[in-house]
Structure 1
Amino acid sequence: MDIQGQVFALACSVAVSAGGAWWFSRRFSQARHLLDTPTSKIRSAAQGYVEFYGVLHDSAEGALLGPLTNASCLWWRYKIEEYTSSGNKRSWRTLESGSSEALLQLNDSTGSCLIDPRGAEVRPLTREVWKGSLRHPLGAAKTGWRALFSNDERYRYTEERLHAGQPLYAIGDFRSSGGGRQGLDIASAQGAVIREWKGDFGGLLQRFDSEGNGQLDEREWQRVQLAASLEAEDRHRRQSTQPAQHHLGKPREAQPFILSCAGEDELVRQFYWQAAGGALLCLAGALATAWLLGINSF
């Protein structure tokens, strides 16, 4: 093997080892997060990182339509691929892909929670894959004899969906508003009110510039701060009387955000198998690297 070939092989073996180590670390860490996070009920859940089991319900925003099948659903993800061949090289090339961002409503025996699916690893129960001759399919997937004897294989379509009534395991960052659950940070709330008032500085002067000189002196500014404090307390009081609203979204830290129709046990089992695969890749890459370095030392 020439020098260039050896360098290329060494780079590939190092990359395989590093990639396997990263995949092992990622999947093993995700499995531990799932096992270490206790299951909570929506009504009594603490603020922060939580996991829920529940059932998907129709939300106030109404049902969506799958972009490829026009099937009614609550969430969708699709992909359109084209079959390409060049010499002995054949592969499927992705032409289009996307997923919906509408809020999901998860209900358990104690309440409901809205879920923002953006940034989540979604593992739906419904998945359809079929092929056709047009870039965009005309309706639902072919089934039965039509699919068996179809030779139109230039394009491959994949659509995944979540539907009302399906079970859902969700783990992510939980936040509640209303219902008297939020404490009042008076300094922060007062500052937010003052910033809002400064957006209409003319109106602010009209209310608090008693001398009419177009400026706020120290005494007038104290009145602004007092009024802003009272306004912040009043807003908090009004918000606390509203029914509690619960939201689940992507955590700010590097914690798993997963929405899955499969339960925790099945997910953990899959993650451990994938972590084992990553460890084997890392070991294979390390052995190949050691072997290549051993060749170069002689």
Structure 2
Amino acid sequence: MWLVGLVVVALAVAGFFWMRRTRSELHAMIGTETSTIDELEELRRISDELGARGGFRRTAEVVGAAHPRPEGLLTAALSEAPCVWYRYQVERIYEQVEQRDGRTRRVRKTETVSEHTSEEGYALIDEQGRTIGIAPAGTKPEGVEQSVERFEPHNGGGGGFGFQLGGFNFGNRSSTIGMRYKEWLIRPGTRLYALGEVHDAIGPLVLGKPQEKGHFILAAKTERQLREERTKRHRLLAIGVPVAFVAGAALTIFDLVR
């Protein structure tokens, strides 16, 4: 019982840090006004005139439509759909024999055997046709389209199974039940919200992950939706974290002093 209590306490601690991050993201969105690309270009021009060419940095939020980089569109790995960003994940569903309390049982489990997030940059374009670069930096955008969600059962002979993706072979697993394929992408023209740090280190303006402290949020949602979601999450965590911590501590102490 004390072990369960410690797990609950650990979850409460993790929930506390998640609550703090949620509140910090909410405050960042509230405290940062949406800028037009023209406004950012004007601020960069002033920075250049002051002798800081290439050193412009400013926290900003921008809204626009996803636009491909100069080299053109990407091709998503699983769906082969044209896009500016994609991410895929391949999971193996399998059964494992476990011995517990003198009994044998088969437990279904899942493991990730392959995943990849595109690293190529893209851009946002506004109604005036002005663009700003986006450096995704491995960030998983919120609310993007899920282009693939399928399960393929293992029907191979002899109990073996294997598949190959991107040059990697993931061997034979006799306990494999099947494979689950997932993919997410951003198509050109998708309306995006971006909050991060704008800089001109490579010449053109680019919005990406802050060099030091700060948040980097990319989402196929409106700022209002993002604020409402974080407000609701913070309220739930503010209630759940103290309750979980007290319950976990009580279970642990009760079991130890029994």
Normalising by the residue count of structure 1, what TM-score does the alignment of the two structures yield? 0.65
C-alpha distance in 1 between matches for 2:24 and 2:138: 18
User: Structure 1: any 5+ residue segments left out of the alignment?
Assistant: 138-151, 179-243
Partner secondary structure for residue 37 of structure 2? coil
Instruction: Please tell me whether residue 262 in structure 1 is matched to residue 221 in structure 2.
Output: yes
1:117-143 deviation per Cα after TM superposition (whole angstroms, max 9, x unaligned)? 014341253103111247458xxxxxx
Equivalent position SS for 1:101: coil
Among 118, 131, 151, the residue aligned to 2:137:
118
State the shift of 1:95 in Å: 0.7
- 2:156 matched residue in structure 1: none
- 2:126 corresponds to which of 97, 103, 108: 108
Partner amino acid, structure 2, of 1:73: C
Taking a change above 3 Å as real, the CA distance of residues 177 and 18 of structure 1, as seen in their structure-2 partners, is closer
Deviation of 1:249 (Å): 1.2
Aligned identity (percent) is: 25
Aligned residue in 2 for 1:189:
none
Alignment of 1:18-57 (within 5 A): 18-45=13-40, 46=43, 47-57=57-67
**1:130 aligned to which of 150, 173, 191:** 150
- The answer to whether the 8 A contact 2:87-2:116 is kept is yes
Query: What amino acid maps onto 1:84 in structure 2?
Result: Y
Q: Distance in 1 between matches of 2:163 and 2:238?
A: 39
* Residue type at the aligned position of 2:178: R
Tell me if 1:71 matches 2:81. yes
Greater strand share, structure number: 2
Change over 3 Å in CA distance of 1:71–1:288 after alignment to 2: same
SS at match of 1:154: strand
Residue 289 of structure 1: aligned partner: 248
Structure 2 residue aligned with 1:220: none
Q: Say yes or no: does 1:171 pair with 2:190.
A: no
Aligned residue in 2 for 1:204: none
Q: What is the alpha-carbon root mean square deviation over aligned residues? A: 2.4
Which residue is equivalent to 2:210?
251
Match of 2:184 in 1: 160
2: CA distance, partners of 1:59 / 1:97: 23
Letter in 2 for 1:24: M
2: distance between equivalents of 1:112 and 1:79? 30
Residue 83 of structure 1 aligns with which residue? Answer: 93
SS at match of 2:248: helix
Task: Give TM-score scaled by structure 2 length.
Answer: 0.74
* Higher Rg of the two aligned structures: 1
Matched residue, 1:183: none
Q: How many pairs are equivalent?
A: 214
SS in 2 for 1:122: coil
Structure 2 unaligned segments of length 5 or more: list them. 44-56, 97-104, 154-161, 166-175
